[in-house]
Chain A
Amino acid sequence: AQTVTQSQPEMSVQEAETVTLSCTYDTSENNYYLFWYKQPPSRQMILVIRQEAYKQQNATENRFSVNFQKAAKSFSLKISDSQLGDTAMYFCAFMMLSSNTGKLIFGQGTTLQVKP
């Protein structure tokens, strides 16, 4: 069974600074996707960034980038130039390709507070 672990329940960062959120996962699969989702308070979850396991290059979306270490099964999210609007709960998620279900397995989440 696949598992996703986020070991940082809460993080805080000063506005304009950089923060890194950690995620590790466990799987015997070779083909999968990894995601970071953002869930602001009382608002819907939105996709931040996606990484295909077969790609060696780390994904980047504007201020958001990942450090994907496939051998170590690690998938961290770096947020640069943090903004107040980045305050949210962040979830790391895994999607196995072989089952073709599109089902996501989520970590426990990290609450990020961006301070002015």
Chain B
Amino acid sequence: DTGVSQDPRHKITKRGQNVTFRCDPISEHNRLYWYRQTLGQGPEFLTYFQNEAQLEKSRLLSDRFSAERPKGSFSTLEIQRTEQGDSAMYLCASSLLRGDDTIGNTIYFGEGSWLTVV
């Protein structure tokens, strides 16, 4: 399967610990997005990359959060000094923007990484 993959799928951590999630987008997709989804709610945008450049960050992304996409392929989302309010599913998505496209190209989502902070 060559879809968007995320790792780990589930993570339980103690408050104050650091966690890192990895996302492997669909091969050759140049855009990569991170969203956060709490139970029973819709996903909320966190940040996105075009190739290796991080082009937008939401105000939801506090200074404890950092995302990288060093070579324009996979991405990591790190949360430092986790808090109970960080408990959520972190969704990664990717898409391919071609030069002659409108931006309505299909966005593909991964299965998400569930974080529980205890």
Contacts and interface: CB of A to CB of B under 8 A. Distances in A.
Contacts of A105: 45
Contact of A103 (B3, B45, B106): B45
Contacts, number: 62
B28 interface: no
Contacts of B35: 104
Nearest to B3: A44
Interface residues of A, number: 27
A102 B97 contact: yes
Contacts of B56: 101, 103
Nearest to A6: B42
Interface of chain B, main secondary structure:
loop
With most chain B CB atoms within 10 A of its CB, the pick from A9, A97, A104, A108 is A104
Nearest to A100: B103
Contacts of A101: 48, 55-56, 103
Interface of chain A, main secondary structure:
loop
Contacts of A107: 42
B7 interface: no
Contact of B106 (A42, A43, A47, A106): A47
